């Protein structure tokens, strides 16, 4: 299986705050994963600190993109 995280930082990389914003996203979703079985097909939308949709994470079969 593969864990896939895709985040669109926009043209300005979160207005120059990419390190802090990506760190927050990783901490939040890292702590939230226990709510999922982590089987292929699981996933969720990812939001930034202003609650704008910026990407998603998913569990895929090995070899799937």
Domain ranges for the chain, please list them: 2-60
Instruction: Quote the pLDDT of residue 20.
Output: 95
Instruction: Quote the pLDDT of residue 29.
Output: 87
DSSP 32: H
Instruction: Quote the pLDDT of residue 40.
Output: 95
pLDDT in tens, 34-59: 999 999 999 999 999 999 999 999 99
Instruction: Quote the pLDDT of residue 45.
Output: 96
Distance CA 19, CA 13 (A): 9
At 65, the pLDDT band (50, 70, 90 cuts) reads: low
């Amino acid at each position: 299986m593969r864990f896939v995280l895709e985040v669109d930082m926009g043209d300005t990389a979160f207005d120059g705050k990419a390190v802090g914003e990506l760190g927050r996203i990783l901490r939040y979703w890292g702590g939230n994963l226990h709510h999922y079985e982590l089987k292929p097909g699981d996933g969720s939308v990812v939001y930034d600190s202003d609650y704008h949709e910026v990407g998603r994470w998913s569990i895929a079969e090995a070899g799937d993109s």
